[in-house]
Structure 1
Amino acid sequence: MKGWRSARVPLIWAALALAIGVPIAFAAASEQLAWRGPVYILAGFAGIVALGLVLIQPLLIGGYLPGLSAYRGRRAHHWIGGALALAVVIHVAGLWITSPPDMIDALTFASPTPFSPFGVIAMWAIFAVALLALLRRRLGLRLRTWRIVHIPLAIVIVVCGVVHCLLIEGTMETISKAVLCAAVLAATVKVMADLWRKRTLRGERIPG
């Protein structure tokens, strides 16, 4: 039993690294990169990294990553949230530089591409969470109020981000992309179920 527990730690971290690293590696080997400029490539990979960070977030808040205390998990969740917002800024800014008209259409929900509105909604939800996290103390948001706001926005980020990714036919390889998206959804459902169970036992309710 002890042997399995000790082996479980590196296996969990290895699985996480593979879930994020394999799609990035396949995208880096895509033949489509030959026809793309450096700014577009940077924007595309920033989007892939952002999806990987979305996977890490529920794992941290749920305490599913071994070797991290509850305090370190919360601190990492905070900093990775900032990195996620930065990755989205790079993603959007790069696409804006390469094609301003397309980005204007996307931001105004006038784009004919089906994946655009989902990406824009996820983007604004990410920015909203990041801004509220920065202003939380100044606004005097209590933990319960923060959760009421944060949890629905997190669900929007996950659902819209996954749909956005799945609808794009780009440099990401299909199977590894699907696995990463499934992992994001599974981790989110798992942490939501655990939070719901804990709040139910305490007589509280989860918003949504």
Structure 2
Amino acid sequence: MRRNLAIWTGVILAVAVPIIAAAASPLLAWREPVYIAAGFAGVVSMCLLLMQPLLAGRLLPNLSPVTSRNWHRWCGLALVATILIHVGGLWITSPPDVLDALLFVSPTPFSAWGVIAMWAAFAVALLGLLRQRLGLRFRVWRLGHTGLATVTIIGSVVHALLIEGTMEIMTKWALCALVLLASARALAKLRVWDVRRRA
């Protein structure tokens, strides 16, 4: 019971502390509300990226496999929504910068990583929605789904670490490290690379 409580407390703190720290960022001073909303959408996206492998790998206590799977889907949809808000808000505040990023001609390296992560996230969501129609074996489908999710995670982590924005530095590094650790733990548990056996 204490272990379960400690895990949930840790997860809540891992999500809440970066958001609270970002809210106190001096970089938000004199910024437009749309820009602030876009920045916080990016922070929330990183928090959702932490939840996704924890839910997919059934690493959170007191959640049944069905509940974990359902929350994984809802978090995936929320992640797509926060990405759209993030990019849409930045488009409103500075269309040329977003256009340069989408065309991979931006002089800032973090832009390319963010765009790669964005398209990979959209592909993950689309693959999830079309799972039944594609008619793939579950393990093959999961390998593709997880591969694209890994691209999303790596791209997002590099994007977040390179950019000097809303997130506070120490909490940003801690959150990114937790995202990578949770992802590695889920991959090791699920063994998604093994497509020989049936689920």
Alignment TM-score, normalising by the size of structure 2: 0.94
Q: What is the aligned-residue RMSD (CA, Å)?
A: 1.7
Q: Matches of 2:153 and 2:124 in 1, distance apart?
A: 13
Q: Does 1:187 align with 2:186?
A: no
Structure 1 residue 180 displacement after superposition: 0.2
1:133-152 alignment runs, 5 A limit? 133-152=128-147
1:172 maps to what in 2? 167
Count of aligned residue pairs for this structure pair: 198
Structure 1 residue 199 displacement after superposition: 7.0
1:44 maps to what in 2? 39
Larger Cα Rg: Structure 1 or Structure 2? Answer: 1
Q: Matches of 1:193 and 1:66 in 2, distance apart?
A: 18
Q: Matches of 2:167 and 2:143 in 1, distance apart?
A: 34
Structure 1 residues 89-98 or 146-155, which shifts more?
146-155
Q: Matches of 1:56 and 1:94 in 2, distance apart?
A: 24
Give per-residue Cα distances to partners, 1:58-93, cap 9 Å, x unaligned: 101111111100111011111110000011000000
Q: Which runs of 4+ in 1 moved over 4 A?
A: none
Alignment TM-score, normalising by the size of structure 1: 0.90
Q: Assess, with a 3 A threshold, how the Cα gap between structure 1 residues 143 and 26 changes in structure 2: closer, same or farther.
A: same
Q: Matches of 2:126 and 2:181 in 1, distance apart?
A: 26
Q: Matches of 2:121 and 2:136 in 1, distance apart?
A: 18
Give per-residue Cα distances to partners, 1:41-71, cap 9 Å, x unaligned: 0000001101100100110111111110011
Match of 1:73 among 68, 85, 100: 68
Structure 1 residues 145-154 or 74-83, which shifts more?
145-154
1:3 maps to what in 2? none
Instruction: Identify unmatched segments of 5+ residues in structure 2.
Output: none
Match of 1:20 among 15, 21, 30: 15
Percent of aligned pairs sharing the same letter: 57
Instruction: Identify unmatched segments of 5+ residues in structure 1.
Output: 1-5
